[in-house]
Structure 1
Amino acid sequence: MEVDLPADLAPLLHAASEFASYPGLQNDASVKEFLDRFPLHVLLSVLQRNADVNGVEDTLVSCLDKIFRTSYGASLLPDYSQFIQAGLQANSQFIRCLSCKAVSYLLENSSNVVSSLQVIIEYNIYPLLLTCLVHGDEKTSAASLGAIQSIAKFPEGISIIFPTDGEEYSLIKNIAAQSSSVARTRILALLAKLFSLSSTVASAIYSSNLLNLFEIEINNGNDMLATLSALEILNELVESPHSSMFLLRTTLFQLLTNMISNSSVDSILRSRAALISGRILSSSEAYAAVNISSVTALLEAIDRRLKVLGSQNTDESESALEALGMTGATNQGANLLLASSSSVAAHVVESAFDRHSRGKQLAGLHALATICGADRSENSRVLDDKAEENLRRLIYTAAANTPKLKPSGLFLSALKQEPEIRLAGYRLVSALVARRWSLTEVCSEPEIIDIVTDAKIETAKNGMDARYECCASISKALLSSNLLHDAAFADIAGKLQGAVRRGPYLTKERQEAQPLVMTAERF
């Protein structure tokens, strides 16, 4: 439709600039009032015909963005679907970015989602969004990603992106095969964002074999940066709660294990592969899908790397220890790790009490705490008999090989170091006291009790919380044990209970009122 434009654009542009510069969001009433003065079709026509005029594009794009953000503005978009379609193909990145956002606004404010999605189908919006994703500038690509996410939030939208005939996800594969490394990275980022939306979308991605794009990129030995980007995005994808059930059905886990074992692979890539593998195995659901031999192969690969690294305090050794901690986060993983024929558990214990390598000690303490159940419920901390016996043996052996001689000396040593190490020590002791032998060791060392009951020893909130949690864990374990028959332990229990009652933070001692004595005034 031909639109007569005002001869003088100055009043329109001035009003649009003021509208766009209004701080915060506009409301429906202000949008209606503005559009009564300057109808939407006029604004769009001015933008289309005068985009090359200095100041027009910036002003009108900002103004239209404010309009479409409102419920009223978004409700007008179905009548201007051709503008969205044309805008997604415009040469201007500003207009393309606005059009991508318009798709999101349309769906987020729609009172009839099915009708809005029909508009997206009718005007072939989704393929255009994919083009903006891979070829747009940073802002346009981000806006396109957000728009595609908005489509995928609805069941009817999922069928647009993943139709039963497979045409659309074949389009994704074709684009990836013909694109630059930057574009391929954007596609992987899109898959990761979609994967996290729901298990339904994740299942569609898995069924369409799009996870294979991660395998292809990770296997690309010609571009280390592209491989690292793919690993970083995979790490993001693994954070989804339903990731394990799908990833463990692919060859990705085996691929990560192979990377860890391959000495020719850069250490940064090996580190990321270890962390991702550990994160995959950090949930109980993983063990319903994983082949135990695959976990064993991973542990052996990490064991070999730690042996090669030896006493070196490197990022790779710290990542390997962190990965072992995540692998042992569940009962299944901890039992398997402690029962492994490899020496991975020994690496964790030795690193946890190695004061010569601060980074490794910190990683080792946190890993050991996690394996011992710091992040599990109290009734799930103790493992099976074989795992528990190996844990006890490893800690007593580590103590015997140091001047401390006893585990209590190792625990105390960690608690007497700087705040970061001390916090990790609190986590470890909190988890270990679920075992009688460890509880006895802790309670037999007065300095440990003095530290965990001292509300003044920590100044940072996380340290205060960790100390208090440790104190409460020891107290609870002691009260439920039969050690209270010993008078010495009974006294310790009283001291711990008093500290628990005082709470985790600094408290002022109760002050008695003091009489105030003053000399008499004389005239």
Structure 2
Amino acid sequence: MLMFYIFFFLGLMPFIQAGLQANSQTIRCLACKAVSNLLENAEDMEAAVQTIEEHKLYPLLINCLVDGNEQTSTASLDAIKKIAHSPEGLSVIFPTHGEGSNQLKNLAANSSSLGRIRILSIIVKLFSISCSVATAVNDSNLLNLFEVEIKDSRDMLTSLSALELLYELVESPYSTTVLLKSTLLQLLIDMISNSTVDSVLRSRAALISGRLLSSADAYAVIDEPSVTTLLLTINERLKLLDEQNTDESESEIEALGLIGATNQGANLLLTSTLNVARHVIDLSFDRQCRGKQLAALLALGSICGADRLEDKIMLNNRAEEQLRSLVYAVAADSPKLTPSGLLLSVLRQEPEVRIAGYRLTAAMVVRQWCLREVCSNQEIISIVTDQKIEATKNGMEMRHDCCVAISKALSTSPLLCDATIAGIAEKLQEAVRRGPYLAKKHTEEAQPIVVTAERF
């Protein structure tokens, strides 16, 4: 059976080879799909990849990727990804000798903007396959192509497309340690601080920077001064945009939330002399700019530990004290006067803001000072235990999660010694037992009534 497959495969090769070089885009697309199908059904992947290499199909697939129409390019991309999934295929794309990945670099240097973006796209797809493929991509210096496109100020759309693909690449689990060893972060910082760069590009650069530092692994690679430089840059931009409700401000606030998602990042944000966290806390309770307020509430929730494991929510002593001081300072400067008043003002707003408020409250009540504030405000307790207040599934679940978080924090708190607090704890436990969704009230079933028929 295996020998039959090999001979059958070899017999098709001249046709596939010719199809990949045809003038017709339809034929080229079908030839790319044929390569994919052959690899999917290959019983001996090593023999299949060797045959592809012997017939020099990989360079033809790359040409289809760059020069083909959308359908052909997509089919070629799929075939190249399948080649890269095996160790044998990896040696075809990244050989130790010969042209290797230079074909991609040479093509990028001589291609149109669309062709260059397609080359970046295949780099992203290859990078995300496995750690070994990501290492091969990095060792081939293909990531430098992103820097070249981002630095090119002549074509904003191409630069934006390159940034979008870089954002996709950063989401790969293998990206952090590789990218932070390059000069990409400094390039992004320069872009954020450059007022001549379009705000859309600055916004994307800020989000990519935040995403790069949203993993705890990042801090094993990058030094603190580099993170401080990024925070300083974002801080300066937020000061310049203070009176403006722009997408750029929201992106930079979101970036701070991404950085603050880890203990290391949150500690840096709160203990930095730049006072960056004050921006986030101020905007979280500022109803004048709804977009920025929502972004800030989500960011503050991340800094407080909404996305961290339970044993990672609390920060170091200095950061925790700074968080407490900042929240009380913002409350004192507002008409609400207390942190509980600030949280209540958020929970009284429209559903989207209120849901962000549930998330923030759930993260903050782990801290005894905030738990005391929340329990001192009966209206907050009434809102989080009210099954009727939310109309969406997400809203109901977030309200219930908040209720669970307060109840759990109270269960181990010395505040339970107070009779009033103990009553609140019972109310919360009852709400937790009822679950997140509005239970339908039991209605009695209709009962048939038997009466004597009327006679005429």
The bucket for the TM-score relative to the shorter chain is over 0.9
Q: Which residue of 2 aligns with 1:333?
A: 265
In 1, the alpha carbon distance for the partners of 2:376 and 2:98 equals 66
Distance in structure 2 (CA, Å) of the matches to 1:215 and 1:336: 28
What is the Cα deviation at residue 517 of structure 1?
Answer: 11
* Aligned CA distance change for structure 1 residues 134 and 295 (closer, same or farther; 3 Å): same
1:464 aligns with 2:371: no
Identify the match of residue 105 of structure 1 among 3, 24, 37.
37
The residue identity in structure 1 corresponding to 2:358 is Y
The whole-number CA distance in structure 2 between the counterparts of 1:142 and 1:164 is 27
Contact kept, 8 Å, 2:284 with 2:293, in 1: the verdict is yes
1:94 paired with 2:26, answer: yes
Structure number with greater CO (CA < 8 Å, separation at least 6) is 2
Asked if 1:193 is matched to 2:125, the reply is yes
Contact 1:235 1:276 in 2 (8 A): yes
Give the one of 87, 102, 109 matched to 1:177: 109
Q: Which residue of 2 aligns with 1:80?
A: 12
**Matched residue of 2:101: which SS?**
helix
- Once residues 522 and 233 of structure 1 are traced to their aligned partners in structure 2, the CA distance between those partners, rounded to angstroms, is 79
Match of 1:402 in 2: 334
> Structure 1: which amino acid aligns with 2:400?
Y
For the 8 Å contact 2:177–2:221, the answer to whether it is kept is yes
The one-letter amino acid of 2:327's match is I
Q: Matches of 1:366 and 1:74 in 2, distance apart?
A: 57
Query: Pick from 244, 249, 260: which aligns with 1:312?
Result: 244
Q: Distance in 2 between matches of 1:521 and 1:291?
A: 91
Contact 1:337 1:345 in 2 (8 A): yes
User: 1:74 touches 1:106 (CA, 8 Å); kept in 2?
Assistant: no
Unaligned runs of 5+ in 2: none
Whichever residue aligns with residue 317 of structure 1, its letter is S
**1:278 aligned onto 2:210:** yes
Q: Deviations over 1:180-207 (max 9, x none)?
A: 1110000001100111111111100111
In the alignment, which residue of structure 2 is the partner of 1:382? Answer: 314
Q: Which amino acid in 1 is paired with 2:61?
A: L
State the Cα distance separating 1:75 from its structure 2 match.
9.5
Seen in structure 2, the aligned counterparts of structure 1 residues 405 and 128 have a Cα distance that, compared at 3 Å, is same
C-alpha separation in 2, matches of 1:98 and 1:344: 55
Deviation of 1:100 after TM superposition, in Å, equals 0.7
How do 1:52-451 and structure 2 match up within 5 A?
76-165=8-97, 167-451=99-383
Amino acid of the structure 1 residue aligned with 2:113: S
Contact 1:78/1:116 (<8 A) preserved: no
Q: Deviations over 1:392-433 (max 9, x none)?
A: 111111111111000101101111111110110011001000
Q: Is the 8 A contact 1:77 1:102 kept in 2?
A: no
Q: Could you tell me how far apart the structure 1 residues matched to 2:77 and 2:448 are?
A: 75
Rg larger in structure:
1
Letter paired with 2:181: R
TM-score by length of 2: 0.96
How much is the aligned-residue C-alpha RMSD, in angstroms?
1.8
- Contact 1:75–1:110 at 8 Å: present in 2 too? no
SS in 1 for 2:157: helix
Are the equivalent residues in 2 in contact too, given 1:74–1:105 (CA < 8 A)?
Answer: no
| Partner AA of 1:438 in structure 2 | C
Q: Distance in 2 between matches of 1:411 and 1:103?
A: 59
Instruction: Specify the alignment match of 2:384 in structure 1.
Output: 452
**Contact map agreement 1:282 1:326 (CA 8 A) in 2:** yes
Q: Are 1:166 and 1:208, in contact at CA under 8 Å, matched by a contact in 2?
A: no
User: What letter matches 2:99 in structure 1?
Assistant: E
Q: Is the 8 A contact 2:149 2:159 kept in 1?
A: yes
Aligned AA for 2:219? Y
Cα distance in 2, alignment partners of residues 86 and 522 from structure 1: 89
Asked if 1 retains the 8 angstrom alpha-carbon contact of 2:269 and 2:275, the reply is no
Relative to structure 1, is the Cα distance of residues 73 and 505 closer, same or farther in structure 2, using a 3 angstrom cutoff?
farther
Measure, in 1, the Cα distance between the counterparts of 2:185 and 2:165. 15
Partner secondary structure for residue 383 of structure 1 = coil
How far apart are residue 255 of structure 1 and its match?
0.4
Residue 332 (structure 1) shift: 0.7
> Which residue identity is paired with 1:499?
A
Cα distance, 1:119 vs structure 2: 1.2
Q: Distance in 1 between matches of 2:97 and 2:202?
A: 38
What secondary structure, in the 3-state scheme, does the structure 2 residue paired with 1:483 have? Answer: helix
Identity %: 60
Distance 2:98 2:417 in 1: 71
Q: Indicate whether 1:484 and 2:416 are aligned.
A: yes
SS class of match (1:215)? helix
Structure 1 portions without partners, runs of 5+? 1-71
2:225 and 2:442 map into 1 onto residues whose CA distance is: 61
For 2:107 and 2:195, locate their aligned partners in 1 and report how far apart those are by CA, in whole Å.
33
What is the identity, as a one-letter code, of the residue corresponding to 1:105?
N
CA drift at 1:74: 11
Q: TM-score, normalised by structure 1?
A: 0.84
What's the secondary structure of 1:250's corresponding residue? coil
Alpha-carbon distance, 1:264 to partner: 1.2
- Whether the 8 Å contact between 1:74 and 1:109 is mirrored in structure 2 is no
